[in-house]
Structure 1
Amino acid sequence: MKSDFSFSNLLGTVYSQGNLVFTEDGTKLLSPVGNRVTCFDLINNKSFTFPYEHRRNISRIALNKQETLLLSVDIDGRAILVNFNSRTVLHHFNFKDKVSDLKFTPDSRYFAIAVGRFIQVWKTPDFSEDRQFAPFVRHRIYAGHFADVISINWSSDSRFFISTSKDLSSRLFSLDSEESSIAMTFAGHRDSVINAFFSADQEIIYTVSKDGALFQWEFTKKPAEESDQEEEEENEANIDPSKLSWRITKKNFFFSDSKVKCSAFHPESKLLVVGFTNGEFRLYELPEFNLIQQLSMGQNEVNTVNINKSGEWLAFGSAKLGQLLVYEWQSESYILKQQGHFDSTNALAYSPDGSRIVTASDDGKIKIWDIVSGFCLATFEEHTSAVTAVKFAKKGQVMFSSSLDGTVKAWDLIRYRNFRTFVSTERIKYNALAVDPSGEVICASSLDTYEIYIWSVQTAQLVDTLAGHTGPVSCLAFGVENSVLASASWDKTIRVWSLFGRSQHVEPFEVNSDVLAIAMRPDSKEVAVSTLHGQIQFWDIENAKQSGNIDGRKDIISGRYLEDRFTAKNSQRSKHFNTIDYSFDGLTLVAAGENNSICLYDIPNEVLLRRFTVSKNMEIDGTLELLNSSRLTDGAGSLDLLDRDGELSDLEDRIDNSLPGAKRGGDPSLRKTRPAIRITAIQFSPTAASFAAASTEGILIYSIDDRVIFDPFDLDVDITPESTLESLKEKNYLNALVMAFRLNETYLIHKVYESVPINDIKLVTTDLPTVYVERLLSFIGDIAMISQHIEFNLVWIKSIISSHGKYINKNKHEFNKAFRAIQRFIARIGKEVIKVSKNNEYSYLFLKTANENSEYTENAEIEFEGFDENDNDQIIVDASDESNESGEDEDNDKDDEEENGGWFSNKKLQTSLEDEESEDSDDEDLE
């Protein structure tokens, strides 16, 4: 098994604080999540998180117009410059103070930052300049404000910028020192000025204040008296520029009960968006100040708002509950509406196909996350207390969860509903859960009692209670091959139960410490346990003896908490693992706990393969091995623990609605009780290409990075892209396909794959060398979700399985990842086809009934494409040209489809497309 895992994505957290940034084309959204940055692709439903980390939470981010440089700054003023395309860090820099705003010029030559009451303008790093040894070169510092600067906005020609401040004023500055006389102060507001904007022609400046006032400024002359109006109208052509100045020409007010928190303006469409502290946001058309829409995204304040370049999509962020929303105001629909867990995550589970992750939290909610998009697909809120464990059934359509509310629930993931609730004779807080591989029974345990409860899934009845432990049962685990249950307890024993055996008598395995976590090898022949003393012990179930031991204490990275009076080296708080999991082959084990490390072990050799650092965020306890001695005091401990909310200047920032001393509930964004670093659950993906860890900051996904630019396979001198295209032109499809795979160029493989005629697919797959079978299946699984050639891909899959079925059966482990992707494609397309066919069937029946009841259309014939007029109950959709010629092929197709997850369980449906569509699809070329 490969061990070169690297961080790839962060799920469960979509927004923390700071500003949101759209890319230039308006299809991607950058959101700060803690000390990282996540990019959401709103068109392709994909997301990724940049691998770099800040030492503190990010406060501002900015992207240049060319989308090459990303600049992010944390709350301490430390900046990181990143290449946006390659996702690599270029430079670190420290601005040495809190940065309240950050903006690139429209031409990307400069960027301005608001540091305290000053504005600093810096040159954007450019590789084309000679003799520039420093990445950041400061152009100029602008002063004039008497309080902290809040925002900065550039003019469209990159010559001027306007800043707003808490001193109730705005100031206009020029980038060029020769135009310094243009500097101007805009005063008149009665509260802090939140933002200021230029119009598209730069003739009008709009300023928005916190108390809900919108002022319109124009460069005009002083209003004249009535007696002088006639004379001035005659001399309009000869106006003296010295008599012109910026003046307020119009005042508008929002008249809201709450304060203005953020605003954004789109000059081309003259659209103004304003967010308030009560969660409300409004859309206005300027300069007429017409209210277009008035909506709310919740009861918490809107912290940031942004508009994409086309002016169609609006992005909102609320930090209190971690809400992220993308709204299309013209159609009044949500493009994206996401929110993470309100409280800490307790458990996670991969779906059997590896495409989704289910998380459970202390807030009583269960969320289903899509791995590729990073979006939450569904949320279950039926539990009334903290959810402690989630498990999938073997087929992946049913999920089980246990909670402290005394129930175990079963969830239907097709209809997204709760269909079973399991309870015992007395109310018990369940903390552990295990599901039998056959799906017949489920088991749960509690820290309050010493028994294990077993229910029947079909009847929801309590069928048995396993007794034998003399301490609280901490964890349960089933194997994959048979119904063998392993349980571990604080009584320092492990018990293995045969649920369907004749005797329930078991011999306990004695462990020298309390057991915190348990995992069973997929073949159900070995069990691994993590103890309180930091040991990972392996037990042979058949021979009832210990087969191995790993001492994890020396591998754990333990940090120091702010309130600790001792060093991290002497701390025993986190010198153990709370969660462990086997890989699919049983040769690798991943372990984590209440510390800052994830350890990957090789089981046969009992050695550490890799160690991952969970987080570098200094806002979280336990990430630092040594504390800053300058921040420590004799009486109060660390200065970071002091409550400084009373020093805030704004009243709404000083108000604290949380309960005194409460660590949960209230406002989770308050840092009076700092969160501690920990991993509550960890699990390998069924595809073995990644593993997920539920941490304090969210769900961390570590995967094997197979995105290679050039990775040739069995390359020869004569194999070039030109020779591959020449073979394709000569219709040597097999040779062209093999040469494309040897070059491993995706565009070349795609071109050859799409060029093979549908009648020659069977011949090509029959002669295809077995070394390329897995690569071809993986390629089809990757492109099938975005390809429009449904039948074409299905014919390829059927031909490969028919020609190389024996080889695939002997090497199942090599094709695991490829078949998961193909199964996901078949399941998704199948649901869409069934839905469309049902709608067409009902429409056809309605039209046929209306035809029969009509007196004026007795001789009319209703032809509905895709249906048989003689059989109303049958929907005809051709699967392939060959499948309609032979009844045997139809039966084989049906069997194959039922084995691949029951794509077409509806007997009335016969799969595929029309012959004309398949001929058109053969001629299309997807570059």
Structure 2
Amino acid sequence: MKFSYKFNNLLGTVYKKGDLIFTPDGNSVVSPVGNRLSIFDLKNDKVTTLPVESRYNYTALDLSPNGCSLIAINEEGEAHWISLISQTIVHKYRFKRKVRAVKFSPDGKHFAVCKENNVFVFIAPGPLSGEYNAFIMERVFHGAYDETTCLDWSFDSRILAVGSKDMAVKLYPLDKWSNFRIYSLGNHTDSIVGCFFEDYTYDITTISRNGQACIWECSVDPDKLVPLDKAPPRKKKKESADSDEDDIDITKAIEPTEAEIAAALEDNKEEKVDQNDKFFYKRLARHYLADEARKEDSQAVLTSAAYHKKTKILITGFSNGSFFIHELPDVSLIHSLSISNQKISSISLNSTGDWIALGCGGLGQLLVWEWQSEIYRLKQQSHSNNMSSICYSTDGQLLASGGEDGKVKLWNVHSGFCFVTFSEHSSAVTSVAFSGSKKFLVSASLDGTVRAYDLIRYRNFRTFASPRPVQFASVSVDSSGEFVAAGGQDVFEIFLWSIKTGKLLEILSGHEGPVTSVAFSPSVTSTCMASVSWDKTLRIWDAIEKGSAHETVELLSDGLCVAFKPNGQEVAVATLDGQIVIFDVKTASQLKSIEGRNDLGSGRSDTDLITAKKTLQAKAFTSLCYSADGEFLLAGGQSKNVCIYNIAESLIVKKFEVTQNRSLDAVDDFINRRKLNEFGNVALVEEREEMEGGNVTLKLPGARKGDMASRVLKPEVRIFSLQFSPTGQQWAAATTEGLLVYSLSSGLVFDPWDLQIGITPQAVKNCLRDGDNLNALTMAMKLNEAPLIQEVMENIPVKDVELIVAALSEQYVHRLLLIVSSALDSSRHLEYYLIWAQNLLTIHGPKIAPQKNMAYLLALEKSLHRKYEQISKICEFNKFTIQYVMKLGDEIAKRTKNDKDKMELDEASSEDENNDFYMESD
């Protein structure tokens, strides 16, 4: 089994904080998700997360006009120049301070950055500027008296408007002009939130935090800006040659000549022209946009704004979750809508101005709204608190997540979108589980209920409750899908219900501590169930047949998690002392023991008074999962590391570090000495924005998930739940950052199988050229390179496929199933690979062992189901179009036939007339 798992996608979190931006084509929106960037493709309904990770959360983003380069700056001022073509970080630059905004010029030659009270203008690398060294500074402007907050470029990239907290907007020229230097626009009574140039003019609109919008008109047209080196020299006043009063001609002084009069008129004319070309702004109007928002909330302030220059549409978002659409320059209200009770952190408009992207950082909400038709193009929301558990469906296409906000969400693994949310629980969801038939989903919660959801109609069809209030900490469904069991957290019992009737069948007593985990055997022939508790015992039940009879296995420490092997013969238990113990289910004897505490990795929190090495002694695995073939074990817990162990050798195979985000707590092993003083850690002092008020509240003692009452939320990095995909091609982890999905990166690892000296790619192509297709296929499969195998398969004639498959030995079949399943997703030769799949399953179906090859069969089923969904949608969409075309063809055929018959009749009648004429003439 290959372990070249690479980060594939980030689900469960759609937006945290920072700028939202649309791509130049307007079909995708880029959203900062912590220290990663997600791209939501609105045209194909798919989300992808870039394989780029920062040391801190991203806050300021902007995209180049050609859409090839993205500049992203995190909250510590580290800028990343990211190529969207290769999806890699090309250059890095450290500003060493917080950056408020970044903006590319419309011509793509420069980009400006707001830092403190300064504005830095850099030359953008690329063919437009002719410069390929990144972050070459060209200009620096120091005009603001307080921190700069926003900026905008004029349409010709010659003037830069910068708003700041000093309640003024400064205009800076990129080049030196004779009639324009630096200009300041005031008249606001609060900090500036947005400033926007008009298209093809220098007119500007400025918006402040208290909702004031000022519209300014520029006195100079863009074509009248004169460069300083081309400006005409100023004329000096003529001085008389002799300054003696006795030598002055009185008649000339009183009566000037005609030449002098003409020269004076010319000078006055030039002065008037220069006065008309003087650069200044006139305020046309002032509007108060916050009046409507303050009808519902008197404390509402304007938090974000966006403007579309072509359609002159202004969008403003407020702290109470409402946003307004105005049309400039009259500032007439077009529409208003409230999306939540949290502040709108960011607003963006696409290139056509039809779609509005809205981000709410408090709820982790991302909306794309089409304002003309008033419909949502995209509506996604994260769990408002941490995820507690995840579960794959039996075919690996769906992921269910339960959160501490009481919601259960279903995610499509392929598209990355959440397509249904169940919010029936009134408290935190502790565990979720799919049924074996994928027809329903079960969740347990601290509100004392276990709920079953129908995955066809998307409704809660069963609610299971106990005779007395119980906080359920774990849940499991048996392989037949008829029974569900849940373990109590405050009542140390296990409850067993029937799915069909909803009745409580059995209450299993015996544990003397909270039941942290229960699991049914995945084997179809077994009704066994295992449970672990804080009472240092593992209990194996057969409650369906034998009731409360069970077998008790003593553990060395508190049990935290239990997981069954896919064949149901072994069970793995994670204990509080950092060990993983493997037991045989039938004999209850210990088979293996894995010491994994040192593999978890240490991490020191800001509030810890002990070292990371000492903290490691208190860490343990809290989630376990077997691989699809049952040979490896996936484990994670109170750290940032995920470990894969080989069970037979009791050794670690690979370790994954799920995040390096230092915006989370307990990521680093050491605290920077510069942050420590005689009073403690300086990092615990909160830095707040202006007018937030209140006292500084430190994190509550013992709170490891973040104190929600604190204004600065810095949760500790943890892995709450893990699970392998049934196909074995990926695994998912519910972490503090969100739901991370890791998948096998095909083609990057050379992993041959039964390789010999003479087997080379050239030898495979020689056999293929000579017509020895069977030998070419077997050699290509031993090289185990998917592109080569696919090339060989596509060169085999269709009539020979059945003979080739029949001649293959059993050891090649399951590998070929995996190749066929991947080719169905990537290749356009659908019917050809369907013939391969049909022959493989028909000829070798009875000899395929389900337990051993279940991962390959599920991968094939997943690909076939996905292809069926794609084609069925296309066929359903084109069905009526095809009917119309057929009807149109019949109608055209009828008209053609009628026209032909008419022509034949006309010809026949003309011939008769000619015959009659000749007869009469005769």
Give the alignment's TM-score, normalised by structure 2: 0.80
| 1:260–1:274 contact (8 Å) kept in structure 2 | yes
Instruction: Report the secondary structure of 2:598's partner residue.
Output: helix
Question: 1:274, CA displacement in angstroms?
Answer: 1.6
C-alpha separation in 1, matches of 2:562 and 2:825: 37
Once the 2 structures are TM-superposed, how far is the Cα of residue 75 of structure 1 from its aligned partner?
A: 1.2
C-alpha distance in structure 2 between counterparts of 1:666 and 1:557, whole Å? 21
Structure 2 CA distance for aligned equivalents of residues 386 and 176 of structure 1: 59
* Pair 334,752 (structure 1): closer, same or farther in 2 beyond 3 Å: farther
CA distance in 2, matches of 1:431, 1:39: 35
Matches within 5 A, 1:455-474: 455-474=497-516
Alignment partners' CA distance in 1, 2:793 and 2:838: 18
Deviation at 1:124, TM superposition (A): 2.4
Do 1:430 and 1:444's aligned partners in 2 also have CA atoms closer than 8 Å? yes
Among 357, 362, 373, the residue aligned to 2:399: 357
How far, CA to CA, are the matches of 2:440 and 2:819 in structure 1?
29
Q: Is the 8 A contact 1:733 1:764 kept in 2?
A: no
Structure 2: which amino acid aligns with 1:497? W
- CA separation in 2, counterparts of 1:435 and 1:73? 46
- Contact 1:737–1:749 under 8 Å retained in 2: no
**Which amino acid counterpart does residue 683 of structure 2 have in structure 1?**
D
Question: 1:710 & 1:326 partners in 2: Cα distance?
Answer: 43
Trace 1:85-96 onto structure 2 (pairs within 5 A). 85-96=85-96
The amino acid of 2:183's aligned partner reads M
Residue pairs, 1:273-422, within 5 angstroms: 273-422=315-464
1:107 maps to 2:107: yes
Distance 1:422 1:21, change over 3 A: same
1:162 corresponding residue in structure 2: 161
> In the alignment, which residue of structure 1 is the partner of 2:37?
37
Q: Which amino acid aligns with 1:469?
A: H
8 Å CA contact 2:82, 2:90 repeated in 1: yes
**Where in structure 2 are the equivalents of 1:635-714 lying within 5 Å?**
635=679, 637-645=680-688, 648-649=689-690, 651=691, 653-654=692-693, 668=708, 670-672=710-712, 674-706=714-746
| CA distance in structure 2 between the partners assigned to 1:548 and 1:688 by the alignment | 23
Deviation at 1:657, TM superposition (A): 13
Q: Which moves more between the two structures, 356-365 or 626-635?
A: 626-635
Residue 619 of structure 1 is matched in structure 2 by 663
Task: Report how far residue 499 of structure 1 moved.
Answer: 3.1
Query: Which is worse superposed, 158-167 or 498-507?
Result: 498-507
Whether contact under 8 Å (2:776, 2:792) holds in the other structure is no
What amino acid is the match of 1:448? Answer: D
Which amino acid is the alignment partner of residue 171 of structure 1?
K
CA distance in 2, matches of 1:64, 1:774: 47
Residue 621 of structure 2 corresponds to residue 577 of structure 1: yes
- Find the counterpart in structure 2 of residue 858 from structure 1: none
- Matching of residues 214-613 of structure 1 within 5 Å: 214-220=213-219, 240-243=275-278, 245-254=280-289, 255-256=291-292, 257=294, 258-481=300-523, 482-502=526-546, 505-572=549-616, 574-613=618-657
Three-state SS of the structure 2 residue aligned to 1:449 is coil
Partners of 2:462 and 2:632 in 1: CA distance: 35
Question: Displacement, 1:401?
Answer: 0.9
Q: Which amino acid aligns with 1:208?
A: I
1:719, 1:743 within 8 Å by CA — same for their partners in 2? no
Secondary structure of the 2:351 match is: coil
Aligned 8 A contact 1:321 1:340 in 2: yes
Letter of the 1:593 counterpart: G
Shift of 1:544: 2.3
Task: Point out the structure with max Rg over C-alpha.
Answer: 2
Letter in 2 for 1:211: N
Cα contact 1:271–1:285 (8 A) shared by 2: yes
The 1-side partners of 2:642 and 2:510 are apart by 33
1: CA distance between counterparts of 2:740 and 2:623?
A: 15
Taking a change above 3 Å as real, the CA distance of residues 788 and 131 of structure 1, as seen in their structure-2 partners, is closer
- 1:774 Cα offset (Å): 6.8
Aligned-pair CA distance for 1:666: 12
With 684-693 and 198-207 compared, the bigger mean Cα shift is at: 198-207
Q: Secondary structure at the match of 1:578?
A: strand
Q: In 2, are the aligned partners of 1:109 and 1:123 still within 8 Å (CA)?
A: yes
RMSD: 4.2
Share of identical aligned residues, percent?
35
Partner Cα distance (1:363, 1:659) in 2: 23
Aligned residues: 818
Helix, strand or coil: the match of 2:677? coil
Aligned to 1:190: 189
Equivalent position of 1:812 in the other structure: 853
Which residue does the alignment assign to 1:857?
Answer: none
Matches within 5 A, 1:871-910: none
Q: Aligned equivalents of 2:780 and 2:196: distance in 1?
A: 53
The runs of 5 or more residues in structure 2 that have no matched partner are 222-268, 295-299, 754-758, 890-922
Q: Secondary structure at the match of 2:551?
A: coil
Most deviating of 623-632 and 84-93: 84-93
CA contact (8 A) 1:399 1:411 kept: yes
Q: Which residue of 1 aligns with 2:229?
A: none
SS of the equivalent of 1:507 reads: strand
- Residue 431 (structure 1) shift: 0.7
Shift of the 275–506 alpha-carbon distance from structure 1 to 2, 3 Å rule, reads: closer
**8 A Cα contact 2:765 2:776, kept in partner:** no
CA distance in 2, matches of 1:803, 1:577: 44
Q: 1:659 to 1:674 in 2, by over 3 A?
A: closer
- Equivalent position of 1:918 in the other structure: none
Q: Residue by residue, what CA displacement relative to the aligned partner does 1:872-892 show, whole Å, maximum 9, x if unpaired?
A: xxxxxxxxxxxxxxxxxxxxx
Q: Residues 518 and 532 of structure 2 are in contact (CA less than 8 Å); yes or no, is this contact kept in structure 1?
A: yes
Q: Shift of residue 191 of structure 1?
A: 2.2
1:158: how far off?
A: 2.3
Specify the alignment match of 1:854 in structure 2: none
Pair 1:59–1:671, CA change in 2 (3 A): same
What is the Cα deviation at residue 310 of structure 1? 2.2
Tell me how far apart the structure 2 counterparts of residues 399 and 60 of structure 1 sit (CA, whole Å): 40
3-state SS of 2:550 partner: coil
Unaligned runs of 5+ in 1: 223-233, 845-862, 866-927
1:207 is displaced (CA, Å) by: 1.7
Cα distance in 2 for partners of 1:822, 1:429 equals 40
Matched, 1:630 2:671: no
Find the aligned partners of 1:237 and 1:809 in 2 and give their Cα distance: 95
Distance 2:41 2:776 in 1: 34
Residue deviations 1:9-56, cap 9 Å, x none? 111111010101111212221111112111212222222222332222
Q: CA deviation at 1:290?
A: 3.3
Question: What's the CA shift for 1:608?
Answer: 1.0
> Counterparts of 2:271 and 2:438 in 1: how far apart (Å)?
78
Distance across 2 between alignment mates of 1:536 and 1:751 = 44
Contact 1:558 1:574 in 2 (8 A): no
Q: Distance in 2 between matches of 1:362 and 1:576?
A: 21
Provide the rounded CA distance (Å) in 1 between the counterparts of 2:107 and 2:813. Answer: 50
Matches of 1:718 and 1:610 in 2, distance apart? 34
The structure-2 alpha-carbon separation of the partners of 1:343 and 1:216, relative to structure 1 and needing over 3 Å to count, comes to same
* 712 and 174 in structure 1: CA distance in 2 versus 1, 3 angstrom threshold: farther
Q: Deviation at 1:792?
A: 8.8
Instruction: Give the drift of 1:796.
Output: 7.1
Going from structure 1 to structure 2, the CA distance change for 1:598 and 1:667 (only over 3 Å counts) comes to closer
Q: 1:466 to 1:503 in 2, by over 3 A?
A: closer
What code does the residue aligned with 2:410 have? Answer: I
Deviations 1:328-378 (A, max 9, x none): 222221111111111121111111111121111111111111212221111
Q: 1:562 touches 1:638 (CA, 8 Å); kept in 2?
A: yes
Could you tell me how far 1:3 is from its partner in structure 2? 1.3
Distance in 2 (alpha carbons) for counterparts of 1:506 and 1:548: 22
**Which TM-score applies when normalising by structure 1?**
0.79
- 3-state SS, counterpart of residue 280 of structure 2: strand
Q: Deviations over 1:880-917 (max 9, x none)?
A: xxxxxxxxxxxxxxxxxxxxxxxxxxxxxxxxxxxxxx
